[in-house]
Amino acid sequence: MSSVVVVGAQWGDEGKGKVVDLLTRDADIVVRFQGGNNAGHTVLTDGQKYSLHLIPSGILHPGKRCFIANGVVLDPAAFCKEIDELRARGVVITPDNLSVSLSTHLIMPYHSALDQARESDRGDSKIGTTGRGIGPCYEDKAARIGIRAADLADQPLLLKKIQHNLAEKNALLSLYKQPGFTVQQVMDEIRKSGTELLPFLADIPEQIAICRKQGGNILFEGAQGSLLDIDHGTYPFVTSSNTVSGGASAGSGVAPWSLSRIIGIVKAYTTRVGSGPFPTELTDALGLYLREQGVEFGVTTGRPRRCGWFDAVILRSSVRLSGITEIALTKLDVLSSLDELKICTAYKYKGQTIFYPPQEENGLDKVEPVYETLSGWKENLAGARREEDLPAAARGYVRRMEELLDVPVKIISVGPDREQTIFR
């Protein structure tokens, strides 16, 4: 296994939680390298459903170590709440199997307040943020005024940073006619969860290096999807971090050459949450059918996901950006019972046929998808465990994806449970 990176290849919600959970069997450590509690990874095992937001999916496997690396922005209160919820269900979580980087930036109460105030002020031009303070926290990181996990152990430094930051944040909140915060209020809010967080802090790059020296297997878990990348996604309708595979290196402190396999998680159709262009979106009864059959509602927010046909154009971009070496295909079972399926193979844009997304802002909103039609199938795929168990039309659908993307499909998910998986 060595060092494997798992990234979402569409707009997130591709099913990374299940795939990471499956791959954890062969891993020694699982590293979450970017994003925050705006992520939502669902794992279904032994009839139990787990929804994870900050803690890596590998936490459900006894004997594995999970790391939250420096590229993540962490809400201490949300972190402690997630731990409490998992412990209440019998999941063992201690500093022995879960560690947080000393360099991880913390989401403060004023970050969430500012995030929500800005989104509300946008009116009909909302970006679709979850309002959890992710963007404002990354802003402070880039502005070099952020509060890092290690600061929790230095109360004078923490107090000084909060005093400095509130002078600006309260002024911004007043512009949106929102109440500000007092220094004491923020200190009180951060004190309890901060105290609980302290025992989990560790030098994550050093721990990863030790694991590599000992010949251990490392699994890097990304959040969101490649088309939400701050640099390479459908800007401005993107997240605030690098979701492509390169983010694993910068976001966890490992050398790029150490990342040996890049697994792109691809849903058998396309979904998107919130605002932003979506060329293959189905706004008719078929789109609603995919939403209901695929249970397409956000793990974090509960928002209904927009659904559409498989888009090979955006996936070519993801393959190129992340150097995807293999694909894990999810939710193939959702397409059962459809007479025919469509795949977008190219776009018409400004009088030309293009095979990669246009780079102009909102250029994707001006393309016309070019489709090819494939036969559907009626068989229920839930019991398939080998490729041979799939109907011919389903196998043909998978092969056509491989041809269009020039990447092999190695894993096929035919249901939400761990066992409903085909390894090719």
- Tokens describing residue 255: 């050398």
Q: Name residue 310's beta-bridge partners.
A: 343
Choose the catalytic residue: 21, 28, 41, 61.
41
The answer to whether 319 touches 263, Cβ cutoff 8 Å, is no
**What letter would DSSP give residue 142?**
H
Q: Which of 329, 333, 340 is nearest to 401 (CA)?
A: 329
Euclidean distance between CA atoms 231 and 211, whole angstroms: 31
**Torsion, Cα of 15, 303, 245, 37 (10° steps):** -100
Is the previous residue joined to 277 through a cis bond, with omega within 30 degrees of 0? Answer: no
Euclidean distance between CA atoms 252 and 415, whole angstroms: 31
- Tokens describing residue 60: 């459900």
Euclidean distance between CA atoms 27 and 223, whole angstroms: 18
Q: Name residue 327's beta-bridge partners.
A: 264, 409
Euclidean distance between CA atoms 423 and 104, whole angstroms: 35
How big is the CA angle at 280 (ends 243 and 315), to the nearest 5 degrees? 35
Annotation marks residue 61 as catalytic: no
Annotation marks residue 41 as catalytic: yes
Please list the alpha-helical segments (H only) found in 198-341: 204-213, 246-250, 285-293, 312-322
Q: Which residues are catalytic?
A: 13, 41
